[in-house]
Amino acid sequence: MGLLYYLRSRKAQSRIKSCKHSLWLYLNSVCVLYVFLSLFQVNTAFGQVPLLERTISIPKQNTTLYEALNLISQKADCLFIYESETIESDKRVKLHAENQPLHLILDNLLSDPSLEYKVLGKHILIFKSKQDAYPVSKIQPDIPAKDTIKNGIIRGHIYDKENKTAIPFATIGIVEENIGTITNSDGFFTLKIPASLIGTSLVVSHLGYMSQTIPVRLLNEQQVDFYLDRRVISIQEVIIRYIDPDLIIEKAMELRKVNYALHPAYLTTFYREGVRKNNKYISYSEAVFKIYKSPYTAGEHPDQVKLLKSRKVQDANPRDTVLLKLKAGVQSALQLDIVKFIPGFLDQIPPVEYTYKYSDLVSYNAKDAYAITFVQKSGLNEALYTGTVFIEKEGFALLGADFEINPAYLDIAAEDLVLKKSSRLKVKLEKITYSLSYMPFNGRYYLQHVRCDIQLRTRLRNHLSSDNFYTFLELATCNIDTAGVQKFPKQEILKPGVVFSDQPYPNNDAFWGDFNTITPEAKLSEALSKIIGNMEEIK
């Protein structure tokens, strides 16, 4: 069985010249979401401050260790970095200090002789000593400026500081080089850092949160957790006036020539797709692509994909009556660049098919943005979309979008989504959602992250039981290069319209080398570990 998903789209020409397309862009492509990794403009790293000798006073109180560290952080004007398994954050502690140095307060609070501290600027890293003989009060000297650290790996989780829940699809990267990754649905990430970038700063950001900037040198070879503060838009930032959502959409489309790349670029991206039948993964593929990304003005098919490395797992039973595959997922990921392939909910040439509403002023990766919701107009019996687009308040750049096929019309969408099936098989779509974002680089925005999740149920005629299928596709940009960009030779180009998992991966920890990837979720990792013997190398 093939799964076919089509995106309602417009040609990426100027708005005046754009013409109406049908609901589905191509009859041979599947719309799957591509994950792009974004890095954001931030301030330079903090200078060194003698934090551990700073004296503070805190009234006596009983609280959790997590809240105690947050309170100390506020009083001492610093930021603690640690890994949740290192510190028992829910442990009840007694906190009291009267003009005491910070290191003594921490020694008494943590009461663990195996813990040490490293300081850089306003950041204090709390970590487990490799030698338990070190006393807790032993303070590591400030990290030297000389780059003596080799290539390293940073791992950790991103959490909401208020409720400590994981933040999925948060961005972690180095702004200066546009190198980074994103968290998986568990909020976990792994980032590989070249030795030449040890002196730079890591940026952590996500929609609705304050971004954090941390020196890479402090984190090298450490597993740490980051707790992001929610970004609250103050009333002073909200202009009390009517905001016309239609005009905001129109302005964003008009300013594409200002906000988006007018020249091609190379994008190094990590791609993955998978299929789960009931509670078992039957197919999983992942790859690193080098993409020749043409500007939004360049028409519909000029993007090229070069496969650098990939591998897959197949664990389908030959006796299964139903097998689900994604067709043209790579091609569809590229076509979800909605700045270039304008979907109906961004095209306001009459007759307009959507109703828009200004929802809120939000923080989107440290930028104030208008959240504009859209739904298809009543009386249109088509499988259109509903969702939210995020448009930068100042420059009207389209920063991202979250949307889905209108649940009321999924049955109609199924007629086009299912490419091939038996006449004995009934297919019911349950949900199809999309998420995408853009990132700034050298004054222009590039596709950052795209993801699509599809849930459906199948049942054979005259059978009572049914099978639940879940499939996803994700693509993230890990690096951008705009120098000397040329199209690939014809023999090196991957055909993006094929079933990628069917393409002709040895399994070891060093398989990906220095490439950054998206870490599998806990459930996915567990599933893959059971069938790891089936891992095959494609290239």
Q: Is the pLDDT of residue 149 over 60?
A: no
> What is the domain class of 49-141 according to CATH?
alpha beta
Name the residue with higher pLDDT: 152 or 21. Answer: 152
Provide mean pLDDT across the span 341-367. 89
Residue 257's pLDDT is 93
pTM: 0.75
pLDDT band at 28 (very low <50, low <70, confident <90, very high): very low
Residue 86's pLDDT is 83
Residue 262's pLDDT is 92
Q: Is the pLDDT of residue 238 over 60?
A: no
Neighbouring C-beta atoms of residue 354, cutoff 10 Å: 21
Q: What is the pLDDT of residues 297-319, one digit of tens each?
A: 887 668 999 999 888 877 766 55
Residue 537's pLDDT is 52
Residues 110, 136: contact at Cβ < 8 Å?
Answer: yes
Residue 500's pLDDT is 75
Q: What is the pLDDT of residues 413-469, one digit of tens each?
A: 887 777 666 677 788 889 999 999 998 888 999 999 999 999 988 888 777 788 888
pLDDT band at 340 (very low <50, low <70, confident <90, very high): very high
Provide mean pLDDT across the span 338-351. 91
Q: What is the pLDDT of residues 356-383, one digit of tens each?
A: 999 988 888 878 899 999 999 988 988 9
Pairing, β 398-405 against β 115-120 = unpaired
The Cα–Cα gap between 130 and 173 comes to 27
Can you say whether the dihedral through the CA atoms of 407, 413, 419, 424 is positive or negative? positive
Range ranked top by mean pLDDT from 195-199, 332-336, 397-401, 512-516 = 397-401
- Joined together, the tokens standing for residue 160 give 């909401």
Q: Where in the chain is the domain with CATH 3.55.50.30?
A: 49-141
Q: Is the pLDDT of residue 219 over 90?
A: no
Neighbouring C-beta atoms of residue 488, cutoff 10 Å: 15
Q: Is the pLDDT of residue 534 over 80?
A: no
Residue 48's pLDDT is 43
Residue 243's pLDDT is 84
Residue 15's pLDDT is 40
Residue 265's pLDDT is 95
pLDDT band at 49 (very low <50, low <70, confident <90, very high): very low
Residues 213, 201: contact at Cβ < 8 Å?
Answer: yes
Pairing, β 212-215 against β 425-441 = unpaired
Close Cβ partners of 508 (under 8 Å, ≥ 6 residues apart): none
Provide mean pLDDT across the span 130-149. 44
The H or E element that residue 71 is part of is helix 65-76
pLDDT band at 241 (very low <50, low <70, confident <90, very high): low
Classify burial at 346, counting beta carbons within 10 Å of its beta carbon; exposed 0-12, middle 13-18, buried 19 or more.
buried
The Cα–Cα gap between 334 and 208 comes to 26
Mean pLDDT across the chain, nearest whole number?
Answer: 79
Q: Is the pLDDT of residue 26 over 60?
A: no
Q: Is the pLDDT of residue 535 over 80?
A: no
Q: What is the pLDDT of residues 397-415, one digit of tens each?
A: 999 999 999 999 988 888 7
Residue 34's pLDDT is 29
Please give the single-letter amino acid code of residue 360: D
Residue 23's pLDDT is 32
Provide mean pLDDT across the span 492-519. 71
Q: Which of 112-116, 260-264, 308-312, 498-502 has the lowest mean pLDDT?
A: 498-502
pLDDT over 70, % of the chain:
76
Q: Is the pLDDT of residue 179 over 60?
A: yes
**Residue 228 phi/psi, 5° resolution?**
-90, 135
Residues 405, 347: contact at Cβ < 8 Å?
Answer: no
Q: What is the pLDDT of residues 269-296, one digit of tens each?
A: 999 988 888 888 888 888 899 999 999 9
Q: Is the pLDDT of residue 320 over 50?
A: yes
Pairing, β 385-392 against β 398-405 = antiparallel
Residue 159's pLDDT is 92
Residue 31's pLDDT is 38
Q: Is the pLDDT of residue 231 over 60?
A: yes
Q: Is the pLDDT of residue 209 over 60?
A: yes
Q: Is the pLDDT of residue 499 over 90?
A: no
Q: What is the pLDDT of residues 108-125, one digit of tens each?
A: 888 888 888 888 888 889
